């Protein structure tokens, strides 16, 4: 089995995997980073969202071979203590219900605000259209996004 060196949460890790193994499986099963969730496996839900080179992307749709040389951040790497402004805003707004979709939602918002500290409503809506929530927490997600925007711009 081939060996790959990945940069995950600012650490180099060595992974033995088939080249076409989805990044999602490498994160969860090989690296034990289970904060990234499996929802659909077919690019339809966003539960598996991670940040790769600053962009929020579905880890179920990236192979391990495609991720070599890229900087991968998972929910575990956003902060060590839940202090990232998006995580703080999520707590303040009490966003999660079952919680399953939330790591993916948070990673999408973190990538969006990483690129643009004051995104327009259209940019927010476009970004968030990549993440579904079966529990319908959308209104609290919006509230938390605006709390995070206020926080990083104060």
The residues of the shown chain that bind ligand FES, judged by CB under 6 A, are: 38-41, 43-48, 58, 60, 96-102, 133-135, 137
CA 109 to CA 100: how far, in whole Å? Answer: 16
Question: Residue 131 Cβ, how far from ligand FES at the closest point, in Å?
Answer: 9
Of 15 and 27, the one with the shorter C-beta distance to ligand FES is 27
Are 71 and 13 in contact by the 8 Å Cβ rule? The answer is no
Are 3 and 43 in contact by the 8 Å Cβ rule? The answer is no
Of 6 and 133, the one with the shorter C-beta distance to ligand FES is 133
Question: Residue 154 Cβ, how far from ligand FES at the closest point, in Å?
Answer: 28
Question: Residue 118 Cβ, how far from ligand FES at the closest point, in Å?
Answer: 26
**Cα distances (Å, whole numbers) of residue 122 to 31, 126, 127:** 36, 6, 9
Of 2 and 53, the one with the shorter C-beta distance to ligand FES is 53
Are 26 and 63 in contact by the 8 Å Cβ rule? The answer is no
Are 1 and 17 in contact by the 8 Å Cβ rule? The answer is yes
Of 4 and 58, the one with the shorter C-beta distance to ligand FES is 58
């Amino acid at each position: 089995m081939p060996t790959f060196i990945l940069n995950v949460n600012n650490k180099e890790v060595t992974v033995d995997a088939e080249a076409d193994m989805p990044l999602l499986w490498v994160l969860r099963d090989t690296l034990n980073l289970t904060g990234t969730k499996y929802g659909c496996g077919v690019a339809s839900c966003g539960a598996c969202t991670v940040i790769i080179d600053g962009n929020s992307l579905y880890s179920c749709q990236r192979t391990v071979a495609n991720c070599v040389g890229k900087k991968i951040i998972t929910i575990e790497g956003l902060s060590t203590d839940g202090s990232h402004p998006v995580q703080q805003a999520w707590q303040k707004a009490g966003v999660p219900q079952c919680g399953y979709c939330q790591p993916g939602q948070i990673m999408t918002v973190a990538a969006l605000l990483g690129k643009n500290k004051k995104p327009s409503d259209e940019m927010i809506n476009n970004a968030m259209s990549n993440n579904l929530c079966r529990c319908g927490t959308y209104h609290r997600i919006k509230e938390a996004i605006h709390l995070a925007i206020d926080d990083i711009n104060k």
